[in-house]
Amino acid sequence: MRLRKLTLREIRLPLREPFVIASGEQFLRRIFLLEGEDTDGIVGWSECVAQEYPNYSPETIDTAWLAIREWLLPLVRSRDVHHPQEVFGMLDAAVRGHLMAKAGLEMAFWDIAARRENVSLSRFLGGTRAEVPVGISIGLQPSPVHLVEKVRACISEGYRKIKLKIKPGHDLSYVEAVRTAFGNDLPLSVDANSSYTLEHVELFRALDLFGLMMIEQPLQHDDLVRHAILQKEIDTPICLDESITSEDRAEDMIQLGSGRIVNIKPGRVGGFAQSLLIHDLCARNGIPVWCGGMLESGVGRAHNVALAGLPNFVIPGDLSPSRRYWERDIVTPEWTMSREGLVRVPLDRPGIGVDVDLDRIEALTVRLEVLEC
C-alpha cells in the first residue's frame, strides 16, 4: 500500500452542551479530519484528536496540521507500507512528540488496510466483540444538585459507567451527592485531569470511602513518580490517562505502581500500533484497560469503538452516542447506544464501518488542504 493523496480538513461543530473540565471548557469542537487515498484508489478516514487549545496535551489542531504537512507526510510519502503496524515506527524514528498528529496519519492507513482486506477495522485490529459497554464522562457542573440530575438522566439512558469530572473544591460534595442519590452499586469514577498535587492526599483518602472504580489522572499530566506515592497512600485504583503516552510509559506505570488501570486513547498514544502494544502489555500484567474519548466526531468514534472490541477492554469506554455531543453527526448511521448501554461494533462492514457524509463535511469545511504524494 502506498499513499497517493492526503486531504486535510477542518470542520467546526458546536457541542450540544458545553464540556467543562479542570483544565478548560469547550463550546465548539474544531475537528481535524484526514482522508487518505492509496495508489489503488482505496480511501480511508481518520480524525486527529488534538484540540483547539493545549490544555489536555501540548498539541493543538494547528500544530498537528503543521506537523503532518511539513514533517510526517514526507516520511511516508512514496514509501511502500506492507502493514499499517509499520507506520508509527516510520514517523517516530525521525520526529519527537506530536503523537496526536502521528496517530491521525497512522489511523488513516489502518482504515485503508482494513478496506483492502475487506474486513472491519475492529476485526483487523484483533477485536473479538460485537458490542461494547459504554460509559459517560460528565463535565464539571455548577452544583451537586445539577450533577445529580445529570447522572439520573444518564442512568436512565442505560450508561454502564458514570465518570464525574472533578477539580479542587468541586470534588467530595459532588461525589457524596451522587452516592447518596444512587447508592454504592452505581459504577462510578472521577477524572481530575491533573488538577491536584500530593498536598491533597487527605482529600483522596476521604474519596476512598465512596468506593470509586478509579480516580483518573489526579496529578501532573506527565507524572509517574508522584502517582506511585499517592497510589501507596490510597485504596482506590488510580487510572492514568494523560501520563500514558507510549508502551514504555505504561511499563513504567506498572513497574513503579503509579496506577492499576489504563485509559487508552489511540489518538493520545500515536495510533493503533501503540494502542495494541499497551493493550497487550496491560493484559499480560493483569491491568484492565478502557477506551477514553476526546469528544470525537463519528469518524474518531469509529476508530475508538473498533479498538474497544479487543478482549482486555473490560471497563466501559467513554464512547457516548452521537446525540450526546452533536445535533447531527457527520457519519451514517450515527452512533447509537442500546437501552442496555451497549454500542454495536460494525463487524459486517469493511473499515471503520460507517459512511462519511461528504456533502455535509464539505458544507462544514473551514480549512482544506489536498496533499498529493
Q: What does the DSSP assignment read for 136-169?
A: EEEPP-SSHHHHHHHHHHHHHHT-SEEEEE-BTT
Contact mark string toward ligand OSB, 37..76, x via CB under 6 A? -------------------x--------------------
Contact partners, residue 274, CB within 8 Å, separation at least 6 = 88, 246, 247, 266
Given ligand OSB, Mg ion, none, residue 56, with its beta carbon under 5 to 8 Å by kind, binds ligand OSB
Contact mark string toward ligand OSB, 288..317, x via CB under 6 A? ----xxxx----------------------
Toward ligand OSB, which CB reaches closer, 193 or 322?
193
Toward ligand OSB, which CB reaches closer, 37 or 191?
191
Residue in 191, 223, 247, 329 binding Mg ion, rule: CB under 5 A: 191
Contact mark string toward ligand OSB, 123..152, x via CB under 6 A? --------------x---------------
Integer Cα distance of 127 and 228 in angstroms = 31
Q: Which of 5, 161, 165, 232 is catalytic?
A: 165
> What single-letter amino acid sits at 47?
E
Toward ligand OSB, which CB reaches closer, 9 or 165?
165
Residue pair 172/203 in contact (Cβ under 8 Å)? The answer is yes
Residue in 10, 35, 37, 318 binding ligand OSB, rule: CB under 6 A: 318
Integer Cα distance of 72 and 168 in angstroms = 39
- The CA distances from residue 2 to 39, 116, 228, in Å, are 6, 12, 44
Show the cell assigned to 262: 489504563
Buried b (16+ CB within 10 A) or exposed e, 155-177: bebebbbbbbbbbeebbeebbeb
Q: Is 296 in the site for Mg ion (CB under 5 A)?
A: no
Show the cell assigned to 79: 514509501
Note the residues at the interface with ligand OSB (CB under 6 A): 56, 137, 191, 193, 241, 292-295, 318, 320
- What residues act catalytically? 165, 265
Note the residues at the interface with Mg ion (CB under 5 A): 191, 216, 241
